[in-house]
Amino acid sequence: MRNKPGTVYLVGAGPGDPGLLTLRAAEVLRLCDVLLYDALASDAIVAFASCDCEKTFVGKRGGKHAMPQADIEALMVRIAREGKSIVRLKGGDPFVFGRGAEEAQTLAEAGIPFEIVPGISSSVAAPAYAGISVTHRDHNPAYTVATGHEDPTKPGSTLDWAKLADPHRTLVLLMAMGNLETIARNLVDHGLPASTPVAAIQNGTRPDQRTVVGTLATIAAICAREGIAAPAIVVVGDVVRLREEIRWYDVAPLFGKRVLVTRPERQAADLAARLRARGAEPIVVPAIEVAPLLDGAIAEELASHAWIALTSANAVDALFGSLAQAGRDARAIGSCKIGTIGPATAAAVRARGLVPDLSCERATSEDFAHALLAAGRDGDRILLYQARDARDALRDGLAAAGRSVTVRDAYETRTRRSPALADAARAADVLTFASPSAVRGFVENGADAGGKVVACIGPVAARAADAAGIRVDVTAEDYTAAGLVAALEEFFASARS
């Protein structure tokens, strides 16, 4: 019996910022069997696809096509006939100069089911990130989007330059850099003043976004001088004058900063997302990895303790992994109260359907010890569930106050050997450390912090960095990813002033 063909999803990846990916696009990316992606689909967006997904680059880089268009269409048909679901991922929107309609026609002709997942077009998003509104009641009440690179097989241009040269409309040109001088001359020849403002925006919505502003008379020379090249869009019209008044993205303190994130992969995602949202470019290369130490015996120990103290989200995962190993679930916790340190640990407990009895927001062992002592009673037995190489401060603080403390290893952190770490450190502007083990992993991988801004989540990591001979520039007072980003913003804002 012949396989039922799989569905092909023609998906717009948006202009580059993964935060602009639509919910539907993220959903089909997570579920697809095969991903065929273009050059303008960023690595962070490609990463939405599952590890089991077969990923193939079919875009164009350096003017060279990885695969001709006809071959891409044939490949989609062949794979779909094998019953696999395919995401054909394109930059921007698949129906805005993305050849999505051509691919849909081929699929329809072959009887392959398909779905169009629109994306945010760079024709609107890139100007917005450059502080340019494509319409404005006082300047340009309408806008036109056109290609600056027509099909080279056509006998001549079909663009109506007389209509495009309308001073009352914003003109947005995609793929125009190769013909920019000719385009500017055509617009002037058909009536636009040579003094009409023009902006060219390279890598719009990305941390390496660059914007130059000139006029029709000067923009080509300015772009050549500044090295502005594809991918870039061109905006022509009076709305360009608004840029200096309402630009917001490329003036943020962290804009364009390359920030090395050394946390384990699971914890890295939150910090990376927060950095990206502020215009920084996160470089995620974990210096350590977390290995849970599962032990089903923990299920029996809970009943004899008044409290279980969980020191991280990793400890929460290890606890429930150990309970599962023993064939138990959250009910094994019984009357044992749960204490957590830091908001991420509390959130991990809540994600399991439980509410911590004590949640210590300040993530230091000393603060946690004080909070546990205040919440508990004399004679309480406390089960301390933490990393194997954790400091003794929490245990010692509780024991000194007369509490009976049982320490159990929930997990261990190991140096993750990564040849890429040293190279990533050299490429970064900022290095971040969230723990002493991350500092150790960085050093053991032979990476060098010289000349970089170094930021730590809290004083414990900062002391470890200092002991390793690494000068620390920023220490977050709020020991969270959000606190670290805020501290970095304040540091760079102060450096500018």
Write the pLDDT tens digit of every residue in 408-422: 999 999 999 998 999
Model confidence at 405, in pLDDT bands (50, 70, 90)?
very high
- What value does the mean pLDDT take over residues 97-120? 95
Tokens of 162: 């007389």
The Cα 214–Cα 243 span in angstroms is 12
> What integer best gives the mean pLDDT of the chain?
92
Q: Identify the three-state secondary structure at position 53.
A: coil
Does the pLDDT value for residue 269 go beyond 50? yes
Confidence of residue 394 (pLDDT cuts 50, 70, 90): confident
pLDDT at 26 over 50: yes
- Per-residue pLDDT for 38 more than 80? yes
Could you tell me the two tokens for 402?
């007369």
Mean pLDDT across 337-362 = 92
- Label residue 2 by pLDDT band (50, 70, 90): low
pTM (two decimals) = 0.81
Known catalytic residue: 38? yes
Say what the pLDDT of residue 497 is: 67
Instruction: Give dist(CA 72, CA 58) in Å, integer.
Output: 7
pLDDT tens column, 144-180? 999 887 655 555 677 899 999 999 999 999 999 999 9
Q: Is it the case that residue 64 has pLDDT exceeding 90?
A: no
Q: How confident is residue 267, by pLDDT bands cut at 50, 70 and 90?
A: confident
* pLDDT surpasses 80 at 206: yes
Structure-token match 């384990």, residue found: 264
Judged by DSSP in three states, 35 sits in strand
pLDDT on residue 265:
85
Tokens (6 digits) for 176: 């125009």
- Asked if the model's pLDDT at residue 32 lies above 60, the reply is yes
pLDDT at 407: 93
Give the residue-averaged pLDDT of 111-135.
96
Say which residue, 368 or 219, is predicted with more confidence: 219
Average pLDDT over residues 67-88: 95
Per-residue confidence (pLDDT) for residue 288, from 0 to 100: 94
Q: What percent of the chain has pLDDT over 70?
A: 97
Whole-number pLDDT of residue 153:
57
Is residue 262 within 8 A of residue 241, CB to CB? The reply is no
Is the bond preceding 231 in cis, omega lying within 30 degrees of 0? yes
Tell me, what amino acid is at 93?
A: D
Q: What is the pLDDT of residue 75?
A: 96
What is the mean predicted confidence (pLDDT) over 443-449? 95
Give residue for tokens 């501290």: 487
Residue 451 pLDDT > 70: yes
The whole-number average pLDDT for the span 225-251 is 95
Give the pLDDT score at 266: 81
In order of their start, the domains of the chain are 8-119 (3.40.1010.10), 124-246 (3.30.950.10), 258-287+416-496 (3.40.50.10090), 290-414 (3.40.50.10090)
Instruction: Sort 218 into a burial class: Cβ within 10 Å, 0-12 / 13-18 / 19+.
Output: middle
The reported pLDDT for the residue numbered 152 is 53
The pLDDT value recorded for residue 151 is: 58
Query: Residue 1's pLDDT is what?
Result: 41
Q: Which of 4, 17, 52, 60 is labelled catalytic?
A: 60
Under a CB-based contact definition with an 8 Å cutoff, are residues 349 and 319 in contact? Answer: no
254 three-state secondary structure: coil
The Cα–Cα gap between 153 and 69 comes to 14
43 Cβ contact list (under 8 Å, min separation 6)? none
The confidence score (pLDDT) of residue 366 equals 82
Which entry of 17, 33, 38, 317 is annotated as an active-site residue?
38
Bridge partners, 198 (sequence order):
214, 236
